[in-house]
Amino acid sequence: MRQILGNVARYSRALEDALLIAAFVALLLLAGTQIVMRNFLGSGFSWIDPLLRILVLWVGMLGAVVATREDRHIGIDVLSRFVPLTALPWLKRVTAVITAIISGLLAWHTFRFVRDEHAYSDVEVAGLPVWMWQAILPFGFALMTWRFLLNAVFPKIPDVSK
């Protein structure tokens, strides 16, 4: 079981990294192209600006997934300074479970949002329906939920001696 989880984690890591790099490179290239075209040619592509907004959303969500995976996300960690070191693994587990529940709720509600967008919207960005671009929201929150659940089972104990 542990080997299967390790393989899934390794492939998931590679996919997450590849998607983040691709989205970030596309964001940079498209923004650079738009800037050059506006400054030197006096015009640009009308579809780039909405796509850049979507790519910022993708980079943000994928960055949050990677931060969760690396246990480097923003956290409010007041209790770990006051509890005994022996209680830290359990505190990390409880925190990870609560955060997984919140992320799971966000995944569910963003899924509902994207589903409604699919049913009622005909807006397109770069030739694709907007719901396809917004699908990163439930996907990202579901991945974060998975990562927080893994952190609940296998907690990474911070060094509080600093």
Per-residue model confidence (pLDDT) at position 153: 84
Q: What is the pLDDT of residue 158?
A: 52
- How many residues are recorded in the chain? 162
- pTM of the predicted structure, to 2 decimals: 0.81
pLDDT of residue 160: 46
| pLDDT (tens place) for every residue of the chain, 162 residues total | 778 877 887 888 899 999 999 999 999 999 999 999 999 988 888 888 889 999 999 999 999 999 988 888 777 777 777 888 888 888 888 988 999 999 999 999 999 999 999 998 878 777 788 899 999 999 999 999 988 998 888 776 555 444
Three-state SS for 6-37 is: HHHHHHHHHHHHHHHHHHHHHHHHHHHHHHHH
Token output for 117: 């967008």
Instruction: Enumerate the domain spans of the chain.
Output: 2-153
Q: Within a 13 Å sphere around the CA of 1, how many CA atoms are in the beta-carbon half?
A: 0
